Amino acid sequence: MLDHHDTPLTTARLARKLAPHLASLTIVFLVTGASMATVPLFVSDELHFGPVLIGFISGAQFIAAIAFRIAAGRHSDRNGPKRAVLVGLALLALAGLVCWIASLIRTTEELAAAMLLVGRVLHGAAESFIIVGAQTWALAIAGPARAALVLGWAGTALFLALALGAPFGGTLYALTDFGVVAVFMTIVPLLVLGAVSLIPGSAVSPGQPLNFSTVLKRVYMQGFCIALAGLGYGVVLSFGVVLYAERGWAPTWAALTLYSAFLIIARIAIGSLPDRMGGTKAAVISLFVQVVGLLLLALSNYQLLGFLGASLAGFGYAIVYPSLGREALRQVSPENGGTALAVFSAFALLAFGVGGPLLGLLADHYGTGAIFLFAAGTSATAIIVLSLNGRAKTA
């Protein structure tokens, strides 16, 4: 399903051509950022439930995103990525509507919580269809030669949207209530759905779709490595502020700000590197930079080195996902690109889901610095796996 142009587009022309797709992705994930910042507050402040239910409801979205990933990839391959995006937008609007209903019945706490749970499941399913569909659609326009660049752009758009959506949602909640936030979560996807429906879709490539197990066998190496590398991403986002606070590095939010800023800088400055030098080689180099950054965070007692560590970790991880994603897509024919992308990204999601609790347990027993050392070790393991796999192929 990944068709591409006979005449390659320049980077500037490609950016203009993909602008509507990336803008839609950004706008939609403002909703995700807003919901992440407000749903826990609604559960605790207005429904009067504790952290266990907050974690359960928030986790439902994550579990649904994993569960629907493969279905989203299959739908994109068989019906076209535009159709997958439209399905995701409809589900996202429905999720917002269900959350709005939960806000109306907030005095019946148990029923409102149940409705909210349904809304988060719908939201997770919507994310899978939108992410897989939007990325596959953009890849169909750009062609396989620009796969890493496009994956990097899409990831940056999503990352920026989440970063902007959280403060927007939090401010809106503070000024009004959760019901208004839920209306925002409903209306925005409907507006984007109307806009996306006007954009021409890409053709569905003819060919025989592979079954799930076959796709898994072909992309498991890239998936395994992104899972190992993803722990480095997760440890900074989840525990970077804690580490800075423990070591007296102020401001503590600099851990996230520096990491995010240098991730975006790398995506913009060297986003085409994997397409020019090969995904595996680019991933190995980027992972090395990430390992250095994580080691600085784990072992340094100096604030300046801590700031440098967060910056290097973000700069390094920026190219890992698009590099390995490019290689995963090369393992299958175009008509199976959506499924391959879905399977690959599911590995990353699983790493974030399993890695968070695992890192928390390790931190309880060995300290916060130790989990950054552990994440550096998993990233170094990914370097070894990729290097050995590359040698085996050339032998």
Question: Are residues 72 and 191 located together in one domain of the fold?
Answer: yes
Question: Are residues 236 and 291 located together in one domain of the fold?
Answer: yes
> What single-letter DSSP state applies at residue 61?
H
- CA distance linking residue 28 with residue 185, whole number of Å: 9
Q: What is the largest CA-CA distance in the chain?
A: 67
- Using an 8 Å Cβ cutoff, are 74 and 14 in contact? no
The mean pLDDT value of the chain amounts to 88
Among candidate residues 226, 222, 225, the one with its CA nearest the CA of residue 348: 226
Q: Give the end of a domain, one of 170, 196, 222.
A: 196
Q: Hunting for tokens 């999720």 — which residue is that?
A: 95
Question: Are residues 132 and 262 located together in one domain of the fold?
Answer: no
Q: Binning pLDDT at 50, 70 and 90, where does residue 7 land?
A: low
The answer to whether residue 3 sits within a structural domain is no
Question: Are residues 191 and 284 located together in one domain of the fold?
Answer: no
- CA distance linking residue 153 with residue 266, whole number of Å: 11
Question: Are residues 121 and 260 located together in one domain of the fold?
Answer: no
> What single-letter DSSP state applies at residue 251?
S
Question: Are residues 132 and 231 located together in one domain of the fold?
Answer: no
- CA distance linking residue 355 with residue 375, whole number of Å: 10
The beta-strand segments (E) located in 29-177 are none
Q: Look at the chain and report how many structural domains it folds into.
A: 2
The answer to whether residue 105 sits within a structural domain is yes
Question: Are residues 16 and 42 located together in one domain of the fold?
Answer: yes
Token code pair at residue 75? 């739908």
Q: Hunting for tokens 């936030």 — which residue is that?
A: 181
pLDDT, one tens digit per residue, over 257-312 is: 899 889 989 998 998 899 999 999 999 999 999 999 999 999 999 999 999 999 99
pLDDT, one tens digit per residue, over 107-150 is: 999 999 999 999 999 999 999 999 889 888 888 888 888 888 88
The answer to whether residue 389 sits within a structural domain is yes
Q: Which residues contact 187 (CB under 8 A, 6 or more apart)?
A: 93, 96
- Using an 8 Å Cβ cutoff, are 363 and 239 in contact? yes
pLDDT, one tens digit per residue, over 68-83 is: 988 999 898 889 999 9
- Note down the domain range covering 345: 212-394
The answer to whether residue 118 sits within a structural domain is yes
Q: Binning pLDDT at 50, 70 and 90, where does residue 316 land?
A: very high
The answer to whether residue 31 sits within a structural domain is yes
Question: Are residues 153 and 301 located together in one domain of the fold?
Answer: no
251: left (phi over 0), alpha (psi -120 to 50) or beta: beta
Question: Are residues 240 and 377 located together in one domain of the fold?
Answer: yes
Question: Are residues 141 and 255 located together in one domain of the fold?
Answer: no
Judged on CB neighbours under 10 Å (0-12, 13-18, 19+), 308 is middle
The answer to whether residue 203 sits within a structural domain is no
The pair phi, psi for residue 319, each rounded to 5°, is -95, -10
Classify 202 as helix, strand or coil: coil
The answer to whether residue 4 sits within a structural domain is no
Question: Are residues 174 and 31 located together in one domain of the fold?
Answer: yes
CATH of residue 123's domain is 1.20.1250.20
Q: Give the end of a domain, one of 168, 196, 224.
A: 196
Question: Are residues 155 and 39 located together in one domain of the fold?
Answer: yes
The answer to whether residue 2 sits within a structural domain is no
